[in-house]
Every structure is written in C-alpha cells, then in structure tokens.
Amino acid sequence: MSRRIALCVGLLLLASPSVAGDIHIDFDKDFDFSSVHSYTWKDDPKTSLSQDNPFFHERILEVVDARLYRAGIKKAESAPDIYMGYRVSTSTDLSLDSPFFGYGYPLGWYWDPYWNSVWATPNMPSGGRTYTKGTLLIEAWTRESNTLIWRGSSTGAVTTDYDKMSKRIFKLVGQIADRWRDMREDQEKEKAKAPASH
C-alpha cells in the first residue's frame, strides 16, 4: 500500500458510535472569541494532507470555511485576526505542539476534561506531549501575539471504505468547526447581556 493510499485510509477516522463523538476542545478561557472576524490558513505539508492527498486537504478546508462563514468570520488575504491550521497523523503519534506554526500557550489555557486533570500552562496532560495516531487537530492562534487560542481534536479508527471515509471527514471536521462557532456565539450573547446587568 503506497503512502498516499495509506494516508487516504488513515484519515478516514471511521469509528464505532462511541468513538464517533470523541471530540475534545482545549482553549484560552480568557480570550474574547467574539473579537475574531477574519482568518488565514497556515499549512505545514509535513503534518497536513496538502501534498499527499490534495482532495481531502481541500475538503477539510472547505468544511471549516463554510462553518466559519456561517459564524460571520471571513477568510482574509492578509492581516487576519487569527491563523488557522490543521494537523493529522495516521501512522505515528502526533506532537502536542507544532514547531512549524510556532505558537505559544496563554496563561488562560484550559484543557478539556478528557485529559482527566486540570493543568496550568505550561504543564501538559498526564498522557504526555503527544496525541495518538489517527488524530485530527484543528487549531487557531492569534496573528499579533502568535498565541494559541483554540484547538479541536478527534481520534478514531480507520477504514478502507473510501466513500465512508469522505463522509466521515465531513462529519468530524464539521463537528469540530461547529464547536468553535457555538463558543463564539455564546460569548456574543453574554456580551450583549452585559450592559443590561449594570
């Protein structure tokens, strides 16, 4: 099986129902997500599919683009509020950090309860500084301070069914992007209520 086919198969992440909803969100609890209005994609060919599988690479970007557009966040050619990037690993564990993107962690970073503990940055989850193979990460960090503000991740099993793989990608990426949109909308609602409380 060629590396290209292996990546196609691996990205599928088609899991049992219990794993299908295995999505985790880590974020900066002090960041105002309602302040984000534009973004630009950053790509690391070593951890994305831009070179090995351009078809699925474009599908991932399209799904996230659509969800962010519905949230009123537009793609910018230059000077965006944030950068977006994604990483996948189908054969080895995936590093918790991305030296290529070069972002740092904020003081207000919050780890998903999935990690089974509350950790203060820069301490990392007890599982170490890696995600298991088969993980898809979507990350966002600020342009000005180069600080990570949000990360969605999902891990699942693989399948050789190409059609199911395509559907699974849409579902996984869509669910992760929807979490971003929901979080931003919740913050906007809270801000709208703030003047009435004074």
Q: What is the pLDDT of residues 9-61, one digit of tens each?
A: 334 433 333 334 478 888 888 888 888 999 999 999 988 889 888 888 898 89
User: Would you kindly state where each structural domain of the chain is located, as residue ranges?
Assistant: 3-197
Mean pLDDT across the chain: 74
pTM of the model: 0.74
pLDDT at 38: 96
Q: How confident is the model at residue 106 (pLDDT cuts 50, 70, 90)?
A: confident
Q: Residues 6 or more apart from 131 whose CB is under 8 A from it?
A: 89, 93, 94, 95, 96, 137, 153, 155
Lowest mean pLDDT among 4-8, 81-85, 184-188: 4-8
pLDDT at 40: 97
Domain 3-197 has CATH 3.30.160: yes
Q: How confident is the model at residue 1 (pLDDT cuts 50, 70, 90)?
A: very low
Residue 122: is its pLDDT beyond 80? no
Helix (H) or strand (E) holding 131: strand 130-131
Residue 95: is its pLDDT beyond 90? no
Residue 132: is its pLDDT beyond 70? no
Q: How confident is the model at residue 156 (pLDDT cuts 50, 70, 90)?
A: low
pLDDT at 118: 45
pLDDT at 21: 45
Q: How confident is the model at residue 92 (pLDDT cuts 50, 70, 90)?
A: low
Q: How confident is the model at residue 151 (pLDDT cuts 50, 70, 90)?
A: confident
Residue 134 CA to residue 147 CA, distance in Å, equals 26
Exposure b/e, 153-187, CB count within 10 A at least 16 = b: bbbbebbeeeeebbebbebbbebbbbbbbebbeeb
pLDDT at 41: 97
Q: pLDDT over 70 for what percent of the chain?
A: 66
